[in-house]
Structure 1
Amino acid sequence: MNISLKYAHVTVNDVDESLAFYRDALGLAVRNDVGSDGQRWVTLGSDAQPDLELVLSPPHAGRSQADGDAIQELLTKGVMPMLVFNTDDLDGTFEKLRASGAEVLQEPIDQPWGPRDCAFRDPSGNMIRINQG
């Protein structure tokens, strides 16, 4: 049996604002932009992983009001699960993200547990770590 990850969901406050980070700064390509019942989902991907898509959606998309409110509260606190990306040029990626105005949490360093990495917050407050590998 083969199994692989197809979609990873990222909750964002504003899909258009988040596209400036994920598409324009990180370089992911928009694969799908879907609207339904007043909500919107956008999927993005990388040529390096053609079968994996990142799904950007607001807290209330496809959820009850109470669930969306709870997720919005966690997003506002900045405690949603982080994403970890991999790049072959950490310093170049870091400079591109910093130049985009993204909030820097950690400049590139060699971590004691192995990877060289850096960290940012996306426009909604999600932590994004980037490893060089």
Structure 2
Amino acid sequence: MNLSMNWITLRVRDLEASLDFYHRILGLPVERRFESRGRQIVMLGTEGQPKIELIQGIDTALKPECGISIGFEAGSLDEAMAELSNEGIPVARGPVSPNPHLRFFYILDPDGFEVQIAEHC
């Protein structure tokens, strides 16, 4: 079997707040927005890359403490921390450097899911 990652689904309380976080602040392009079974859904991400699917709903299937985090690569960790700080988003954990070739930190999305920002040196 030859599989490739397609998307990750997050059920969010406030779709507009999550859309603002992932689109405006983190810069993921909106691929499409639609309604299915009475729920608003937004697919975000660049072509050829796995997407993040945001589904509006108060009955969240996953809780932030479930151990899921989403990771992004940054060209400069220091610049990313400064830009996020300017947006009022604090670093939740880190920065951490587990080896000489990797540095990362975590922030939280509007629902409390961890988002890892990493820089490979």
Q: Find runs of 4+ consecutive structure 1 residues off by over 6 angstroms.
A: none
Cα distance in 1, alignment partners of residues 85 and 46 from structure 2: 20
- Aligned partner of 1:116 in structure 2 is 103
Q: CA deviation at 1:3?
A: 2.5
Gaps of 5+ in 2: none
Gaps of 5+ in 1: 61-67
Q: CA deviation at 1:46?
A: 3.0
Matched-pair identity in %:
27
* TM-score, structure 1 as length reference: 0.76
- Aligned partner of 1:55 in structure 2 is 53
Q: Secondary structure at 1:79's aligned position in 2?
A: helix
Q: What RMSD, in angstroms, separates the aligned Cα atoms of the two structures?
A: 2.3
Is the 1:94–1:107 contact (alpha carbons within 8 Å) kept by the matching residues of 2? no
Q: CA deviation at 1:36?
A: 2.3
What pairs up with 1:12-91 in 2 under 5 angstroms?
A: 12-46=12-46, 50-59=48-57, 68=59, 71=61, 74-75=62-63, 78-80=64-66, 81-91=68-78
Is the 1:117–1:132 contact (alpha carbons within 8 Å) kept by the matching residues of 2? yes
Cα distance in 2, alignment partners of residues 84 and 51 from structure 1: 13
Superposed CA deviations along residues 41-99 of structure 1, whole A, max 9, x for unmatched, are 1011136xx23211111346xxxxxxx36x2xx53xx3131112122222212222222
- What is the count of residue pairs matched by the alignment? 119
Q: Secondary structure at 1:35's aligned position in 2?
A: strand
Higher helix share: 1
Is the 2:39–2:57 contact (alpha carbons within 8 Å) kept by the matching residues of 1? no
* TM-score, structure 2 as length reference: 0.82
